[in-house]
Amino acid sequence: MLQFSNGFLLSLSLCLDIGLANIAMITLAMQRGYFHGFWLGIGTCIGDLIYAVLALAGMAIVLQFTAVRWVLWIGGGVMLLWFAGKMLYAALQKQAALPETEQQPYRSLLREFSRGVMLAMSSPTAILWFASVGGALISRMGHGSAAATSSFLGGFFIAGVVWTCVLCLVGSMGGKLLGQRLLKYSYLASALIFVYFAIYVIWSGYREFILV
């Protein structure tokens, strides 16, 4: 259950950073309806899951080196605190609002799904997140038995699906009216999650390297 909840929160911290994929999802739900936004969102969930699996596979190799574990402990903890500060700063900005976007052309649901996968895997925000933060966290949470790893990945994927459902519902009901409030509370929630994981990484690293 702990692996599932950690995977869920980890994915949510990525989702709550309102980047290119989320803007596309909420705009599509506003302009073309709930299900168009939903299938684009499911595509982004698949893209994020691919990155998570790749991070797990890569970490299994590099974690054999003590120096790498030290870097992930110190660097990961610092980056998590930096992301928490960034999200808190964004939440306190009075002018936070969803950016204007052009009218979206009609595409089939399958094309929207494929577009979602590509958006997730080409997003600079997602690449930076997995390279700097996701790797450090996944290295400490995603390894263990096959059941634990499956539970972790299951939580990671389900969080993305839940977020997609909520965001598309907001978009289809008039996301522009809720845009500023949506951004503020998303950034606040993301900051809290990053603080939680920063404490987790720093404390677990302290126990591994100092209390030995």
**179 and 171 Cβ atoms separated by less than 8 Å:** no
CA distance 96 to 115: 26
Q: What is the mean pLDDT of the chain?
A: 77
> Residue 22 and residue 12: Cα distance in Å, rounded?
12
How does residue 132 score in pLDDT terms, banded at 50, 70 and 90? low
What is d(CA 3, CA 153) in angstroms, rounded to the nearest whole number? 9
Q: Is the pLDDT of residue 94 over 70?
A: no
Number of structural domains the chain divides into: 1
Give the orientation angle of helix 20-32 with respect to helix 109-122, to 10 degrees.
160
pLDDT of residue 138: 67
Residue 68: pLDDT over 80: no
- What is the span of the domain harbouring residue 145? 2-209
Short-list 41, 59, 48, 25, CA closest to 126: 48
Side chain identity, residue 91: A
**More confident site: 194 or 126:** 194
125 or 154: which leads in pLDDT: 154
pLDDT of residue 26: 80
Where are any strands of DSSP class E within 20-159?
Answer: none
The SS3 call for residue 173 is coil
SS3 209: helix
User: What pLDDT score does 38 carry?
Assistant: 93
Q: What is the pTM of this model?
A: 0.76
Residue 210 has pLDDT above 70, yes or no: yes
**pLDDT 10s digits, 100-114:** 555 666 678 888 899
Q: Determine what percent of the chain falls in helix, strand and coil, rounding each to the nearest 5.
A: 85, 0, 15
Number of residues that this document lists for the chain? 212
Element spanning 163, H or E: helix 146-172
Q: What is the pLDDT of residues 182-196, one digit of tens each?
A: 667 777 887 888 888
pLDDT (tens digit per residue) in 28-64? 888 888 888 899 999 999 988 888 887 777 766 766 7
Distance CA 25, CA 163 (A): 11
